[in-house]
Structure 1
Amino acid sequence: MMILRSILIFLGLSLPLHAASNGAQLYEQHCALCHGVQGTGIPGVFPPLANADFLKSHREKSLRAPLEGLSEKITVNGVAYHGAMPPVLLGDEDLAAVFSYVFSSWGNQLPAPSVEEIRSLRAKTKHPTLDSLQASMVGQQLPTPPEGWDLRVAAELSFSPVRLAMHANGRQVLALSRQGDIWLWNPDQTHLTRLIEASSYLDPSLGSPSSMGLTVDREGRLYVTCNQRNEKTNPVSNEVTIFRSEPWSKEDDRSWQKFTPWLRASYPFGIGPYNHGLSHIAQGPDGMMYVTSGARTDGGESGDLPNYDQSGEHHLTATLWRLNPDETPPRIEIFARGLRNSYGFCWDNRGRLFATENGPDADPPEELNLIEEGRHYGFPYQYADWTNKPYPHSPDLPAGIEVTQPIRNSTDSLSTFEAHSCPSGIIWLDHTWPKPFADTLLTARFGNLLKREKDVGFDVVHIQPNESSNRSAKVTTLLAPLGRPIDLLVLPGHQILIAEYCRGVTFAAGIGTPGRLLILRPKSK
């Protein structure tokens, strides 16, 4: 699915609610994923807002949609849509600013709503206050952990986390927000403190940020990956940067306070909402740094937006990069291709590299791939084990490319996960873990971002590789439901930290609530 940058134009979605209302900025964070940066929507899936007759003819219904959600069939510019829009957690002033922006953009010329108009419409809904709406969108119960294990809330967050990493001191934990702030968690506390503000190292002139990768290498250097949509270029570009600090020193707490760009690159920004960009970064057993560079399309389609590149993938996208940490700047080496959006990857104790992959809006399975140097994993030509094309525009497989198939899920006969379940962060548990976790994988699944008959994901699944075959595994649910889990981290003492992006455990609950950290650990004997 379109997770991450899709979560993320969308995920990450969160400016502080107390910030001054900026309609354009709030629109990008809360609306652009579905309706597009230019309000064009996604044909047949999400309705356009640009020059939209529905906004004029159904003003009250339009204004009430973010207040209470919208699930009925509607017609916009002669096209029928029957999806579902969850409520949006924005205050009356912010919603008035968003609608003022939409009503005066892309050919729309409509009277801007006042804060009072929004407030009076909210009073007519099932949840007449923002607090009431937020309370309704929060899951209260923790799922039942496996026998012999405890699951508890480790920390309530004021933001939505996108990545976790272990501090160089081996004791504290770092959490990244999509805006680029880095937060610090002490395991003996129930709150986080902001360690590094994004404004201290990001260049705002390059565009709004989407930061999705965070790690610490063996030298104690901190890395962050960031994508910025630069509208000053033609075509609009994705400015990708990997920031790196000096090695951490326990004698100098300021050693991480100054980031410098370690690598900069630029390529045309994505088509529609599908600019996945750089995300996960991690150091491999060989000492090299590996970085996911996601696709800039849903499925290799061409675009038609003015000022945006209208071709498909770029040679730097839908790939896994390998970088030498001894070089500054490093040369980009393409380690593997055909990876639409591998949000998470990890190595096992044998040095095998496993990566999750999010599929397109069509319905092929999401994938778990065993990544090997030089191989091609199909995108945008082939998806999982499908032999049919998901779209009429899907390109033919070029001569000379051999597609490596994903790992087969022997439990459900899929390659590998249910469509739209959005597998994200993944970890390897070595032989020291108690059964049944020894020598297995866990992955968080963010959950569907499109309306389905039945929600999928919202869980952590347990993956047992078939030791007689590299190409199959048993996949079972470990914890469900969770609030859109997005990353996992192994802690000392056979403990697992789980980052929930938000508190909604269903599609209908939306994603506007802040996240939290959960910890799974063995029961004390």
Structure 2
Amino acid sequence: MLLSFTTFLLVSHAAIAKANNAPQALRSDVKVRNIMYTLAASPSVRIAKDPRNNQLYYLKRNGEIYRVNLATSQSQLVYSRKDHQLSDTQGMAIGRDGAIYLVGNTNLTNSLTKATIVKGVVSGTGDRVWSILAETAGYPKSNTAYDHGFNGIVVGPANKYIYVNSGSRTDHGEIQSANGQFPNTREVGLTTCIFRLPANGKNIFLPNNRQILKSKGYVFAEGIRNTFDMAFAPNGDLFGAENGPDRDMPEELNWLRQGHHYGFPWRIGGADNPQQFPNYNPSKDRLLNPVFHAVKRGFYHNDPTFPKKPNRTLTEPIPNFGPHADSFRDPQDGKVKDASNLGRSLSTFTAHRSPLGLVFDTQKALSSEFQGNGFMLSWTKGGAHNVSGYGPFRDSSADLLHLKLTKIGNTNYKLSARRIVSSFQNPIDAEIIGNKIYVLEYGGSQGIWEITLPAKK
């Protein structure tokens, strides 16, 4: 039900602008406008439109959902935990019938968690009635920064299925026993998958057993480390932006297809994870940066019991031919290089960018240069001269990329990436309406920014 009160976020743009560096358009035909700031005790995590009327909503981590008035730059609290019963939400999507889907994670104990997907269906009065679409069994946490949980969600174009990401509980497939509570445990049945569930489902139970999940047709794709965001292209193909590990390996954009395995933890960023090999010596690994947590904690080590690679074809990431977001550290000499400057591609993006906020011009509303193309955010700020610190090296990141994708038969895609807006504060999600992209920030004062691109003439 609608809350019996309304809350408006009325913020002085002038006052907060002093504390925020506004994003900068990198082309004269791209315009940037601040809509509002959403700073509150709980951070903003998702932004989505109702396809029926292009009404914009954003989600807070604590489960609050706000409706945005673009004309007045105000937002109204419309739903909260009292309505849908979730208090730790990381995913939101809206179907073409106006149903809102939320993804939440709940700690059952200090070391056990479960995920819940709820659905708010539009009633005859125009309000939404909430119910549980699916819920998982409890499954082991690692009690590390790598407990990614369930997060990204997208509704299929026909409104028949939802697709939900369940990220890894490890950095790169290492044992994480939660201080001995789960001996020799790496990934489990409910992790590192994209699930496909019927949009009209109710109280679906997802056990922590991969074979049972497969037998029921719920597993769409495997070998996913953490595909925090997914989006459908105009032709109906599904894409996912993949966050990489603490090793200096490229981060991925994948063409997600049913039944495919995307490599984790054996293949990451188009390369082998060296920990699977019996002669691995981390002291000679030039891609280990000592500033990262997994390296500091010794999670990269000689690992004789590392599982054998599956006896099946592993699907590789989409190659990026630049000119942007394609810096890499050479595993042979440890130097940072630019792939496109060397006449080669990268699989797919500069390490540690944390790609997310993926959208496509599905309505073909943009000018010929951008029409039908993809756009993607990157969370982590880098630096043009950074080669050894935290974050993407020699890559400013924290930006909006234009992704021009070209299909290569039925095998894969290739892309070129160009920066078109820079200097966001940890941008976390995006939505597209016509020729305008709305970017939600997690950092700073959690702004919502309107990016206007050239429209179709």
| TM-score, reference length from structure 2 | 0.74
Structure 2 residue 89 is matched with structure 1 residue 211: yes
Whole-angstrom distance in 1 between the partners of 2:407 and 2:119: 38
Alpha carbons 1:447, 1:455 under 8 Å: kept: no
2:247 aligns with 362
- Aligned equivalent of 2:30, options 149, 160, 181: 149
Alpha carbons 1:340, 1:380 under 8 Å: kept: yes
Whole-angstrom distance in 2 between the partners of 1:354 and 1:168: 19
1:495 aligns with 436
Question: What is the identity, as a one-letter code, of the residue corresponding to 1:151?
Answer: V
2:418 aligns with 476
| Aligned-pair CA distance for 1:317 | 0.8
2:313 aligns with 402
Whole-angstrom distance in 1 between the partners of 2:454 and 2:231: 27
| Aligned-pair CA distance for 1:455 | 6.0
Structure 2 residue 189 is matched with structure 1 residue 315: yes
| 1:97-136 alignment runs, 5 A limit | none
| Aligned-pair CA distance for 1:136 | 11
Alpha carbons 1:462, 1:475 under 8 Å: kept: yes
| 1:303–1:523 Cα change, 3 Å | closer
Structure 2 residue 367 is matched with structure 1 residue 434: yes
Alpha carbons 2:243, 2:355 under 8 Å: kept: yes
| Aligned-pair CA distance for 1:396 | 4.8
Alpha carbons 1:223, 1:245 under 8 Å: kept: yes
2:200 aligns with 326
Whole-angstrom distance in 2 between the partners of 1:378 and 1:137: 45
Alpha carbons 2:172, 2:264 under 8 Å: kept: yes
Q: 1:274 is paired with a residue of what secondary structure? A: coil
Alpha carbons 1:295, 1:318 under 8 Å: kept: yes
Whole-angstrom distance in 2 between the partners of 1:428 and 1:464: 10
| 1:282–1:387 Cα change, 3 Å | closer
Q: 1:188 is paired with a residue of what secondary structure? A: coil
Question: What is the identity, as a one-letter code, of the residue corresponding to 2:175?
Answer: S
Question: What is the identity, as a one-letter code, of the residue corresponding to 1:240?
Answer: A
Question: Residues 360-412 of structure 1, C-alpha deviation per residue, up to 9 Å, x if partnerless?
Answer: 11111000001111010011111122135163367354341321100001123
| 1:393–1:348 Cα change, 3 Å | farther
Aligned length: 369
| Aligned-pair CA distance for 1:247 | 2.0
| Aligned-pair CA distance for 1:522 | 4.4
Question: What is the identity, as a one-letter code, of the residue corresponding to 1:201?
Answer: H
| Aligned-pair CA distance for 1:337 | 0.3
| 1:259–1:358 Cα change, 3 Å | same
Which stretch shifts more, 471-480 or 134-143?
Answer: 134-143
What percentage of aligned pairs have identical amino acids? 25
Alpha carbons 1:461, 1:475 under 8 Å: kept: yes
Which stretch shifts more, 459-468 or 447-456?
Answer: 447-456
Structure 2 residue 60 is matched with structure 1 residue 177: yes
| 1:174–1:166 Cα change, 3 Å | same
Question: What is the identity, as a one-letter code, of the residue corresponding to 2:390?
Answer: K
| 1:270–1:181 Cα change, 3 Å | farther
Structure 2 residue 134 is matched with structure 1 residue 263: yes
1:302 aligns with 175
| 1:228–1:307 Cα change, 3 Å | farther
Alpha carbons 2:366, 2:454 under 8 Å: kept: no
- Aligned equivalent of 2:225, options 333, 336, 340: 340
| Aligned-pair CA distance for 1:147 | 2.8
Question: What is the identity, as a one-letter code, of the residue corresponding to 1:144?
Answer: A
2:280 aligns with none
Question: What is the identity, as a one-letter code, of the residue corresponding to 1:480?
Answer: S
2:6 aligns with none
Alpha carbons 1:271, 1:309 under 8 Å: kept: no
Q: 1:189 is paired with a residue of what secondary structure? A: coil
1:418 aligns with 350
Q: 1:365 is paired with a residue of what secondary structure? A: coil
Structure 2 residue 397 is matched with structure 1 residue 457: yes
Which stretch shifts more, 298-307 or 145-154?
Answer: 298-307
Structure 2 residue 107 is matched with structure 1 residue 229: yes
Unaligned runs of 5+ in 2: 1-14, 207-217, 276-299, 323-338, 340-344, 383-388
| Aligned-pair CA distance for 1:199 | 4.1
| Aligned-pair CA distance for 1:182 | 0.8
Question: Residues 134-176 of structure 1, C-alpha deviation per residue, up to 9 Å, x if partnerless?
Answer: 9899433330253323210011112332111113641321101
Structure 2 residue 295 is matched with structure 1 residue 353: no
Relative to total residues, which structure has the larger helix share, 1 or 2? 1
Alpha carbons 1:163, 1:214 under 8 Å: kept: yes
2:161 aligns with 288
Question: What is the identity, as a one-letter code, of the residue corresponding to 1:400?
Answer: N
Q: What CA RMSD, in Å, does the superposition of the two structures yield over aligned residues?
A: 2.6
Whole-angstrom distance in 2 between the partners of 1:307 and 1:410: 44
Q: 2:200 is paired with a residue of what secondary structure? A: coil
2:285 aligns with none
| 1:456–1:202 Cα change, 3 Å | farther
| 1:223–1:318 Cα change, 3 Å | same
- Aligned equivalent of 2:77, options 179, 194, 208: 194
2:332 aligns with none
1:4 aligns with none
Whole-angstrom distance in 1 between the partners of 2:237 and 2:443: 32
Q: 2:451 is paired with a residue of what secondary structure? A: strand
| 1:420–1:148 Cα change, 3 Å | same
Whole-angstrom distance in 2 between the partners of 1:401 and 1:367: 20
| 1:487–1:378 Cα change, 3 Å | same
| 1:305–1:473 Cα change, 3 Å | same
Question: What is the identity, as a one-letter code, of the residue corresponding to 1:298?
Answer: D
| Aligned-pair CA distance for 1:340 | 0.4
Q: Which runs of 4+ in 1 moved over 6 A?
A: 134-137
Relative to total residues, which structure has the larger strand share, 1 or 2? 2
| 1:260–1:309 Cα change, 3 Å | farther
| Aligned-pair CA distance for 1:183 | 1.0
Q: 1:447 is paired with a residue of what secondary structure? A: coil
Whole-angstrom distance in 1 between the partners of 2:252 and 2:453: 30
Question: Residues 52-83 of structure 1, C-alpha deviation per residue, up to 9 Å, x if partnerless?
Answer: xxxxxxxxxxxxxxxxxxxxxxxxxxxxxxxx
Unaligned runs of 5+ in 1: 1-133, 204-208, 504-513
| 1:144–1:179 Cα change, 3 Å | same
